[in-house]
Amino acid sequence: SLFPELKRELSAIQDDIRSAENRIKRIPQSLLVNGTKDALEQCLNYLDSAHTSSVVAMKAVHSQYPH
């Protein structure tokens, strides 16, 4: 069945997105100058959007491959 593989891959993608968010958040604010803070905030916004989209994809997989 394709469902377990798709679910594993989407879960791994979600983990990677959250990991990237956590790495960005670990950067000390005192090191962020010359627009870096704003750029990284934009990265976090994009990652949040990517995570939301991955949740939508996971829901679509669940509805496409009922188990």
The Cα-based distances of 51 to 16, 27, 28, 63 in angstroms read 10, 21, 24, 19
Show Cβ contacts of residue 20 under 8 Å, excluding neighbours closer than 6 positions.
43, 47
Q: Give the model's pLDDT for residue 55.
A: 95
Please state, as a whole number, how many other Cβ atoms lie within 10 Å of the Cβ of residue 36.
Answer: 12
Question: Using CA atoms, how far apart are residues 4 and 67, in angstroms rounded to an integer?
Answer: 10
| Rg (the chain; Cα; Å) | 16
Q: What token pair was written down for 66?
A: 């009922």
Q: What is the pTM of this model?
A: 0.84
10-62, pLDDT tens digit by residue? Answer: 999 999 999 999 999 999 989 888 899 999 999 999 999 999 999 999 999 88
Q: Give the model's pLDDT for residue 65.
A: 78
